[in-house]
């Protein structure tokens, strides 16, 4: 379902030679709205918007300034099947996404490589994907002993500055509090990491661990737990850094 997307309006395509067809010119920065950390923006994708010459999908363009190393979560909630394309400050296509982990809403979670202004292009998956949407940007920061909601989820990043084990693997620690016995499903999903989960009791005794769940290298724990306090460790199979989503559900 993933595809390479050339996101250019007709007037841009007329100005640029074919050799630069995947680049977005910097003059678009003068006319595009700012996507700030504080404030999601709402819009409507309709037939009056610019058009992707490759597949006829309509598009809206946003910009934001970021420092190199920021871990950004760029998300869309839409009435249609959305698609995101991100261009770096040098005008190069950096990343694309059609579907998030949970839905047909597009989502990009990545570490930004350069300091400067980025262009984020929202389009429909196809020419008939139109409607209202909300688009947002968040900066993900390291977590330390966060109390997880049940059910609930958190998006976080493993990085060099985190606590590490004797194998050099970065660790994030989370707390779980059960007021009564419960069956839980805990998932650690990532498009870049080989996820690994550990569950410990209040005395730091290991209760369960998992490397690969039923879907690829994403880790999953299925547990029947009595009431009590628990600690969940999110890490990787081998030393690595990157973004992941941790979710706790009641099957």
Neighbouring residues of 219: CB distance < 8 A, sequence distance ≥ 6: 187, 188, 195, 196, 197, 210, 211, 212, 213
Lowest mean pLDDT among 45-54, 169-178, 191-200: 45-54
In this predicted structure, the answer to whether residue 21 has a pLDDT above a threshold of 70 is no
The domains of the chain, with CATH numbers, are 10-139 (2.60.120.380), 146-249 (2.60.120.380)
How far apart CA 186 and CA 178 sit, in angstroms, is: 14
Cβ contacts of residue 27 below 8 Å, gap of 6+?
Answer: none
What's the rounded Cα separation, in Å, for the pair 33 and 36? 9
More confident: 82 or 18: 82
Whether residue 87 contacts residue 40, with contact meaning beta carbons closer than 8 Å, is answered with no
pLDDT 10s digits, 139-159:
876 666 788 999 988 888 887
Q: Which pLDDT score, from 0 to 100, does residue 101 have?
A: 64
pLDDT tens string 185-215 = 999 998 788 999 999 999 999 999 999 988 7
Pick 189 or 21 by higher pLDDT: 189
User: Which residue in 186, 184, 155 sits closest to 172, CA to CA?
Assistant: 155
For 112-141, the pLDDT digits (tens) are 999 999 999 999 888 788 999 999 998 876
pLDDT of 35 higher than 60: yes
Spatial separation of the C-alpha atoms in residues 191 and 143, rounded to whole Å: 19
Contact (CB, 8 A) for 80 and 133: yes
Least confident range of 7-11, 98-102, 227-231: 7-11
d(CA 172, CA 230): 14
Residue 203 DSSP class = T
pLDDT of residue 241: 81
- 68/90 Cα distance (integer angstroms): 13
Q: Which of 5-9, 72-76, 123-127 is modeled with the greatest confidence?
A: 72-76
């Amino acid at each position: 379902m993933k595809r390479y997307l050339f996101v250019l309006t007709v007037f841009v395509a007329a100005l640029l030679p074919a050799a630069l067809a995947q680049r977005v010119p910097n003059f678009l920065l003068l006319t595009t709205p700012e996507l700030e950390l504080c404030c999601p923006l709402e819009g409507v994708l309709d037939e009056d918007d610019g058009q992707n010459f490759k597949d006829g999908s309509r598009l809206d363009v946003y910009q934001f300034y970021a420092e190199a190393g920021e871990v950004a979560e760029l998300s869309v909630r839409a009435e249609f099947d959305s698609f995101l394309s991100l261009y770096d400050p040098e005008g190069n296509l950096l990343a694309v996404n059609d579907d998030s982990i949970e839905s047909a809403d597009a989502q990009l979670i990545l570490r930004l490589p350069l300091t400067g202004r980025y262009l984020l292009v929202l389009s429909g998956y196809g020419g008939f994907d139109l409607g209202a949407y909300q688009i947002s940007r968040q900066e993900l920061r390291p977590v330390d002993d966060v109390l997880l909601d049940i059910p609930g989820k958190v998006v976080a990043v493993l990085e060099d500055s985190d606590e590490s084990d004797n194998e050099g693997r970065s660790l994030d620690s989370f707390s779980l509090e059960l007021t009564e016995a419960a069956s839980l499903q805990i998932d650690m999903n990532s498009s870049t990491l080989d996820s690994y989960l550990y569950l410990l009791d209040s005395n730091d005794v290991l209760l369960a661990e998992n490397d690969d769940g039923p879907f690829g290298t994403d880790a999953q724990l299925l547990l029947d737990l009595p009431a009590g306090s628990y600690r969940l460790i999110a890490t990787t199979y081998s030393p690595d850094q990157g973004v992941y989503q941790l979710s706790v559900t009641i099957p």
